[in-house]
Amino acid sequence: MAKNNDKTNVMRILEQKGAVYTSHCYKDTDAVSGIEVAEVLNEDPNQVFKTLVTQGASKNYFVFLVPVHRELDLKKGAKAVGEKSIAMIKAKELLPLTGYIHGGCSPVGMKKQFRTTIDISAENFETILFSAGKIGYQTEMSLSELRKVVSFDLADIVC
């Protein structure tokens, strides 16, 4: 749990849904990339996930969570969601679509809930970390707790 003045909307949603989480703050550091965030928090980069938003050939949007040091395999991602192809959305489209800025995108609390897929490697950990919806904040929780808030599938989606 976070102090009230450090709470993000993601944390408020998690608490409202009764999901157990731990918050991590790195706002007073120079960490920018996901790998730097993992280093600053002294966490395994395999356990720290970035949230990526794509659009399929059908024009539907999809959310993917992958470890910060890995890349989304667009072919595997498309197959996982039953699309012919997917492409990353442009950074300028992220805020109007999700309510989040680049670097602070979370699968929790988007303006609209999109189909979400998490890389299967997340099952290797008791908990995973992902953005708490604001640059400088991460949320750590188990997949079972995350399922209380976000419906998601697990699949092999990284290069």
Tens of pLDDT, residue by residue over 33-54, are 888 889 899 999 999 999 999 9
pLDDT tens per residue across span 57-90: 999 999 999 999 999 999 999 999 999 999 999 9
Q: How far apart are the first and last CA of the chain?
A: 34
27 and 7 Cβ atoms separated by less than 8 Å:
no
With cut-offs at 50, 70 and 90, classify the pLDDT of residue 1: very low
Give the pLDDT confidence score for residue 31 in this predicted structure: 79
Average pLDDT over residues 16-36: 90
The CATH number of domain 4-155 is 3.40.228.10: no
Give the pLDDT confidence score for residue 5 in this predicted structure: 59
Give the pLDDT confidence score for residue 115 in this predicted structure: 97
Residues 8 and 23: their CA atoms lie apart, in Å, by 10
Average pLDDT over the chain reads: 94
86 and 74 Cβ atoms separated by less than 8 Å:
yes
Average pLDDT over residues 125-142: 96
Q: What is the pTM of this model?
A: 0.93
